[in-house]
A and B are shown apart, each in its own frame.
Chain A
Amino acid sequence: MKETISVSPVTRIEGHLGVKIDTADGRVTSARVVGEMFRGFEQILRGRDPLDAQQITQRICGVCPVEHGIASILAQDAAYGVTPPPNGRIARNLAQAANFITSHITHFYLLSGLDFVDVAQVTTYKGNDAALTALRDWAKSELANNTVNAGGPFLPQFPAQLIKDPSLNLGVLRHYLEAIEVRRDGHKLGALFLGKLPHAASLIPGGITEKITAIQITSARALLERLRTFIERVYLPDVVAVATAFPSYFELGRGCGDFLAYGVFPETEGNGSPFLPSGALIGGKLQRLDIASITEDVRYSWYSSASGRRPTEGETVPAPEKAGAYSWLKAPRYAGRPMEVGPLARLLIAYHDGRDTTVKSAIDGLLKTIGRNPADLVSALGRHAARALEAKLLADRCVEWLDQLVPNQPAGVDFTVPATGSGVGLTEAARGALGHWIEIRDHKIANYQCVVPTTWNCSPRDDRDQPGPLELALVDTPIADAKAPIEAARVIRSFDPCLACAVH
């Protein structure tokens, strides 16, 4: 039997996403991923002062502002011919890593958690934990009083098979409440160096405007210790436990199988030697990143601008009535291929790169714990595992970076905005490879293009009708109940989609 299922809106992601799924005999045969919101940042940036770009582009996304700010600053560093002193580079790394950590914790518990945890079960809780007792009493009162949308925003959930083991279920629910508190610490760590979050204040070409002081380093260390403890004792074990409870998701959501990363967290002068390296992993073979291979198709996107352009020549002209189009996302391709980006891509590329042995041994260690091989990571659960492992690797690295900060030394260098120039800023957001391209003429922005992680992962079909990575990942997913397509939801959310980013 054939059916078409619409999952719109996909909640518990950032932004406006819909997915249309065709099934035959309870399995997905094809999927169309629809970006449902457009603002037009690239048009708005034209004609503005180049220094506005890092503030404007941060507002593309409230979940990934630091990363957009960094991408814009790197593009401007390149255009103005400056690089930050060590304090500036390290402080940027710390703030960016802290935002990754907050984003990853938020994703597993607040965004994905309710695909696995049975919230209503808290009403049967009999223990003494203060937070769970309070949640139980609240849920009971909500349900007993039959308020409008009782138990919102957590209920209703899809009537589906959730975690069966009550102690694991209530444990993860308890950790959801803890995650709400701990995720704030990542933002505080970022705000120590960048003034505030979301939307950082003190990123500037040549470094940061904030000064490096001993009290700031000490405060950062304290926040970091709490994050590290949570990641090691709570987040990673919970991901392993959920993986053990839902082993079939190591087989589901595999996607396109090719991966792209731009490299992030420079560890030497001149923004060089990224901790997590760049590369294109195609057919299991690691290639050097070639940014000239990046193009964006728009055949199925609501734009009338030319298709197949490189970002340096890219245009964004909206055409909401365009026949045949079905998404506000463009379709980025690398040498004509759809590519998956994100924590899994970064870790697999670092694993194949092998220069930094800490990543390889961490992955091997995790695989041993869960009794899996590297190929199993290319799956819905593999993405969750990679995200949690990356959070741990970054938190550990932040300790080393903090030790390298020198109080009272400069965190920035002066710069001059030239009348004419161009620059590319390649970095990584929590959700994957992020690139900003700036072109300056007559002291103003002549063109600005952003190619964003979720644009890669949630892209529509391209000019050659090749589906995007999430569209491919959904194929073959079994759907037990067309009215409660939890299986598709789990695959979709494993990519941690961020739609405000993807369309901008």
Chain B
Amino acid sequence: MTRRSFLTVSLRLATVMGLSASAAPALADALERIVRGRAHTLWLQGQCCSGCSISLLDSEPLGPDQLLTRQIALAFHQTLSGATGHQAVETVDRSIAAGGYILVVEGAVPMAMPQACFFGEETFASQLTRAARAAKAIVAVGTCATSGGIPAAEGNSTGATSVPAFLKHAGITVPCISIPGCPAHPDWIVGTLAHVLQFGLPPLDELGRPRAFFGKLIHDQCPRFSDYERENFAKNFGDDGCLFRLGCAGPITKADCNLRQWNGGTNTCIKAGAPCIGCASEGFAAKRDFPFYLKNGQLRPQGEHGV
């Protein structure tokens, strides 16, 4: 594409977005960056399982190869980078020195035990502080990064902390978007990055989550909603019917899994007979006494379920 064609597309886009024609050149810049792969992005991992990275690799129709060569210039990613050892450290440091990138963070930060996560000779907490200060925007990916997740569950000894809480503690005010999910759905990651690159920050809720993906309860889009209405409840795993009495956290979890489905539309938890375990909810796995499943006639403590 030529500069002229970027401008033509941008004029059309500006109209669609309800912007004035004067916004077109800025949009054209953003588009050009995207198409030419110049939106500088840095992906760091703390206390994580790499599940969100693996989930991103499952992205389609925008495959990871197109994402990396067309949409973002991914300077570094621990699981994908050619750079090894000191090269990897130098690569990250070059990005930090240049600044102005989008910083993606996967995983929690062990604030009470910084030695619980290293990158080269540096603790992750120290690296994240440097990287966050020089970033244009931060995207916390996955529930470990957005609210601490399993590493921060009761009984943890590392003081695992979410990225937004860590940034607040460090006095860093760079805007941070939260994409929860254990793992995060690839569309949630790709869609959010695309919005940031093309149109700036997407509309966010009070927890910093993109409303486009986390605006509605799982329960409200449930394929078994009519079973709930008719009080046709599954008693055992594998039964037809609403999974509420088996512990389904759909009524307290906001995410669009039921509409979007997983693995390129192959399936999703509730469709497969599995109660939602609330992996995208801010309290995911946090409390020992809030089990994922109910069995043997167990009931949840009063008031812990929103329905």
**Chain A residues close to B by CB (< 8 Å):** 6-16, 18, 36-41, 43-49, 51-52, 55-56, 59-63, 65, 106, 110-111, 114, 119, 131, 134-135, 138, 141-142, 145, 147-149, 152-158, 177, 180-181, 183-184, 187-188, 191-199, 201-202, 204, 206-211, 219, 302, 318, 320-321, 328, 410-412, 414, 416-417, 483, 485, 489, 500
Q: Are A483 and B86 in contact (CB under 8 A)?
A: yes
Q: Are A6 and B86 in contact (CB under 8 A)?
A: yes
Q: Are A207 and B58 in contact (CB under 8 A)?
A: no
Q: Are B277 and A55 in contact (CB under 8 A)?
A: yes
Main DSSP-derived SS at the B contact region: loop
Closest to A135 in B: B69
Given the complex of chains A and B, what is the CA–CA distance between A47 and B73 in angstroms?
45
Given the complex of chains A and B, what is the CA–CA distance between A14 and B78 in angstroms?
8
Q: Are B236 and A414 in contact (CB under 8 A)?
A: yes
User: Which of the residues B98, B238, B266, B285 comes within 8 Å of A148, measured between beta carbons?
Assistant: B98
Residues of B within 8 A of A320 (CB): 113, 115-116
Residues of B within 8 A of A55 (CB): 277, 292
A485 to chain B, nearest CB (A): 7
Given the complex of chains A and B, what is the CA–CA distance between A141 and B70 in angstroms?
11
Q: Are B116 and A195 in contact (CB under 8 A)?
A: no
Given the complex of chains A and B, what is the CA–CA distance between A101 and B7 in angstroms?
45
Given the complex of chains A and B, what is the CA–CA distance between A213 and B16 in angstroms?
44
Q: Which 8 residue pairs spanning A and B have beta carbons closest together?
A: A62-B51, A195-B272, A209-B273, A49-B291, A196-B262, A201-B269, A201-B274, A320-B115
Q: Does B173 contact A (CB under 8 A)?
A: no
Q: Does B251 contact A (CB under 8 A)?
A: no
B63 to chain A, nearest CB (A): 6
Residues of A within 8 A of B272 (CB): 193-196, 201-202, 209-210
Q: Are A195 and B69 in contact (CB under 8 A)?
A: no
User: Which of the residues A13, A16, A36, A199 comes within 8 Å of B182, measured between beta carbons?
Assistant: A199
Q: Does B166 contact A (CB under 8 A)?
A: no
29 A-B interface contacts by CB (under 8 A): A10-B85, A12-B80, A13-B79, A14-B79, A38-B110, A44-B156, A51-B295, A52-B291, A59-B182, A62-B49, A63-B50, A63-B51, A110-B79, A110-B80, A114-B82, A131-B65, A135-B65, A141-B36, A142-B73, A147-B38, A149-B91, A153-B74, A153-B75, A183-B57, A187-B263, A195-B267, A196-B267, A196-B272, A198-B51
Stretch at the interface among B19-27, B146-154, B195-203, B204-212: B146-154
Q: Does B126 contact A (CB under 8 A)?
A: no
User: Which of the residues A39, A106, A148, A483 comes within 8 Å of B57, measured between beta carbons?
Assistant: A106
Given the complex of chains A and B, what is the CA–CA distance between A49 and B101 in angstroms?
43
Given the complex of chains A and B, what is the CA–CA distance between A141 and B32 in angstroms?
13
Given the complex of chains A and B, what is the CA–CA distance between A181 and B64 in angstroms?
9
Q: Are B267 and A192 in contact (CB under 8 A)?
A: yes
Residues of A within 8 A of B40 (CB): 147-148
Q: Are A39 and B79 in contact (CB under 8 A)?
A: no
Given the complex of chains A and B, what is the CA–CA distance between A183 and B110 in angstroms?
32
Q: Are B85 and A197 in contact (CB under 8 A)?
A: no
Chain B, interface size category, equals 35 or more
Q: Are B117 and A51 in contact (CB under 8 A)?
A: no
Q: Are B118 and A37 in contact (CB under 8 A)?
A: yes
Q: Are B84 and A489 in contact (CB under 8 A)?
A: yes
Q: Are B279 and A62 in contact (CB under 8 A)?
A: no
Write the B193-233 contact mask toward A (1 if CB under 8 angstroms, else 0): 00000000000000000000000000000000000000000
User: Which of the residues A14, A37, A147 comes within 8 Å of B116, measured between beta carbons?
Assistant: A37
Residues of B within 8 A of A63 (CB): 49-51, 54
Q: Are B58 and A11 in contact (CB under 8 A)?
A: no
Q: Are A37 and B47 in contact (CB under 8 A)?
A: yes
Residues of B within 8 A of A148 (CB): 40, 73, 75, 94-95, 98, 101
User: Which of the residues A37, A47, A155 comes within 8 Å of B117, measured between beta carbons?
Assistant: A37
Q: Are A48 and B291 in contact (CB under 8 A)?
A: yes
Assess A51 versus B183: contact at CB under 8 Å? Given A9-B88, A184-B264, A209-B238.
Answer: no
Given the complex of chains A and B, what is the CA–CA distance between A149 and B92 in angstroms?
9
Residues of B within 8 A of A177 (CB): 65
Q: Does B162 contact A (CB under 8 A)?
A: no
Residue of A13, A135, A187, A328 with highest tally of chain B CB at under 10 A: A187
